[in-house]
Chains A and B, each alone.
Chain A
Amino acid sequence: MSVWTKERRLILAVESSCDETSVAVVEDGNQILSNIVASQIPSHQRFGGVVPEVASRHHVEQITLCMKEALTQAEVTPADLSGVAVTYGPGLVGALLVGISAAKAFSFAHDLPLIPINHMAGHIYAAQFVEDFQFPLMALLVSGGHTELVYMKEHGSYEVIGETRDDAAGEAYDKVGRVLGLPYPSGKKIDEMAHEGEDTYHFPRAMLKEDNYDFSFSGLKSSVINTVHNAEQRGEEIRPFDLATSFQASVVEVLVTKTLRACKDYQVKQLVIAGGVAANKGLRQGLELGLKEQQPEVSLIQPPLKLCGDNAAMIGACAFYESQKEQLADMYLNAEPSLIFE
């Protein structure tokens, strides 16, 4: 039985896994009718990082407002919808529960199918708004909590072929930002600074030569922190722009090299970059250039910046395909903070 029993194929999607409350209405899996994003960054900046209880409280304040705005902006009513999609993990448990509670209540009120979505799969589907997927496809998922290479042979099929063994790339950015005294979240600022310095510090490139698709950023992070501390102890000035350039050069080289190798070995047609760090200009340029030189037959799909961060539109796009696989939930749906790809 298909979920598509209405005139139009519309999904209301809800996302609340970290510090953004978002609700979207998506049509046919590839058109955004609305994508309301309430960002809590100004709040968490006070603490230098996301405080889970503060995040959960903001989600409750925002969730109904966002749902209402999403429907109004999309000019649709609950009766027009075919389903309700919601992120059920991975993420902060208290934050996830707000979105899940709202989605379940909405689904119950209007007798709509409930579609549970993996947040990381959602990130990949942000690219579906740019171009239709062609399989096989490789996705490089980089965010504050994840760094993974995911191979997809068809819609809804995810095989993690490589991942970070310690810190996520985005985590390393935030830690380096803190050492440089930059406000949270510092990824964008480091990216900007990296374009104005030179790679003079020559930080290590971890696991570059190893015969796998895994990553490691903890050694690089420590190397940057030690460099700064040693300079302080010796009373030397550090050169922040060169430091940012050197750090980013190491991250980008490792990500690009391993991703290109994976694309070649798996003979993919498309490469998707996804997650918050996918907004990084250095990474985008590195992948564009690498593919052009080495694998021009592979097309690179880069979601627009707004769709790289957490948002509900990507959850709605993913749900369009998940619902066709009949991956529906019932009222027992719970948050799974450590959800992984199966």
Chain B
Amino acid sequence: MKILSIDTSQQALGIALVEDGRPVASYVSLVNKNHSIRLMPGIECLMKEHGWSAKDLTRVVVAEGPGSYTGIRIGVTTAKTLAWTLGIELVGVSSLAAIAVNSQFSGLIVPLCDARRNNVYTGAYQWQNGELVSLLPDKHISLSAWLEELAEQDLPVQFIGVDVPVFEDTIHETFKHKQTEAHVLTNQLNPLGLAYLGSLKTPEADVENFTPKYLKRVEAEENWLKNHPDVTKQEYVKRI
């Protein structure tokens, strides 16, 4: 089983090759550069260097979101095109789970991604019997509402992700009386961890219809839906 994993959901870029559960190679760049310019050259270079050809791949694992809209589109489009045209398996993994997997914390692991205007993409994970379990599902939520929700949990909480420093003060304020860790994991992007999670999941049944998990509608659409509450879902794309 030869796995290619791709993470373009944040500013950083991650690519990894894993064979039969053994890490073969990984490429991580933490510099903010265009994923469109770097992703395919990165895959091409890494595979060539390790003697892999496209036809050898058996599974592509992609960080499906939430995260940067353009970023996850580049990753998902690349991954599903490869999977479809090579006739191999496609697995989408939450980009938040791909951050959480880097922590060994025993309580609640909470990845945070800045979604602007004091909103976050987040979720809550926990290791149970060696398996990373999603306890509170991934969502787009205001930071204050999320912190309230977490404050009600009985478990200690650890916040992770490159965006944590942005929210650190607010977090400490809310969790003054609780046992909390709010810290940034330095290796927060780890495409090998993503490949590991992807190796455990059942492949997508419908590769061609696979789409990113944005977890948020486009603002224009939100407003339109508000003004058109009675309209049922229609076909918005037509073959001509």
Contact = CB atoms under 8 A, between A and B. Distances in A.
Interface size class of A (residues with CB under 8 A): 35 or more
Contacts of B221: 46, 51, 54
B70 A94 contact: yes
Given A78-B85, A108-B54, A334-B37, A98 B238 contact: no
Interface string A82-106: 0000000000011001101110111
Contact of B236 (A43, A53, A63): A43
Interface stretch (A64-72, A147-155, A166-174, A294-302): A64-72
B81 A105 contact: yes
A37 B240 contact: yes
Contacts of B40: 101, 104-105, 108, 331-332
Given A46-B224, A331-B41, A97 B237 contact: no
B214 A57 contact: yes
Contacts of A306: 240
Interface stretch (B72-80, B135-143, B160-168, B174-182): B72-80
Contact of A40 (B73, B210, B236): B236
Nearest to A101: B77
Nearest to A95: B73
Contacts of A110: 54, 85
B19 interface: no
Given A61-B211, A94-B69, A334-B34, A109 B238 contact: no
Contacts of B208: 64-65, 68
B25 interface: no
B164 to A, nearest CB: 27
B115 interface: no
Contacts of B210: 64
Contacts of A182: none
Nearest to A311: B240
B148 interface: no
B85 A106 contact: yes
B82 interface: yes
A145 to B, nearest CB: 20
Contacts of B218: 51, 53-54, 57
A56 B69 contact: yes
Nearest to B8: A101
Contacts of A101: 36, 39-40, 73-74, 77-78, 81
A61 B209 CA distance: 6
A38 interface: yes
Interface residues of B, number: 42
Contacts of B85: 67, 78, 105-106, 109-110
Contacts, number: 134
A59 B235 CA distance: 14
A37 B240 CA distance: 6
B73 A98 contact: yes
Interface string B21-53: 000000000000010110111011000000000
B77 A60 contact: yes
A43 B225 CA distance: 12
A57 B37 CA distance: 20
B43 to A, nearest CB: 7
A158 B15 CA distance: 40
A38 B74 CA distance: 20
A109 to B, nearest CB: 5
Identify which of A39, A62, A64, A332 gathers the most chain B CB atoms within 10 Å of its CB.
A64
Given A68-B84, A105-B78, A106-B85, A97 B73 contact: yes
Interface in B203-237: 207-212, 214, 218, 220-221, 224, 228, 234-237
Interface string A309-342: 1000000000000000000001110110000000
B49 to A, nearest CB: 14
Interface in A18-70: 21, 36-43, 46-47, 51, 53-54, 56-65, 67-68
B239 interface: yes
Contact of B73 (A56, A68, A330): A56
Nearest to A41: B238
B237 A39 contact: yes
Identify which of B43, B212, B235, B240 gathers the most chain A CB atoms within 10 Å of its CB.
B240
Contacts of B211: 57, 60-61
Given A42-B236, A101-B81, A108-B44, 8 more contacts: A46-B236, A56-B70, A60-B76, A61-B237, A63-B77, A94-B69, A94-B73, A331-B41
10 contacts: A38-B237, A46-B221, A47-B220, A53-B69, A56-B70, A60-B77, A60-B211, A63-B81, A331-B43, A332-B41
**What are the 7 A-B residue pairs with the smallest beta carbon separation, nearest first?**
A43-B236, A105-B81, A331-B40, A101-B77, A64-B208, A331-B41, A102-B81
Interface of B: 34, 36-37, 39-41, 43-44, 54, 69-70, 73-74, 76-82, 84-86, 207-212, 214, 218, 220-221, 224, 228, 234-240
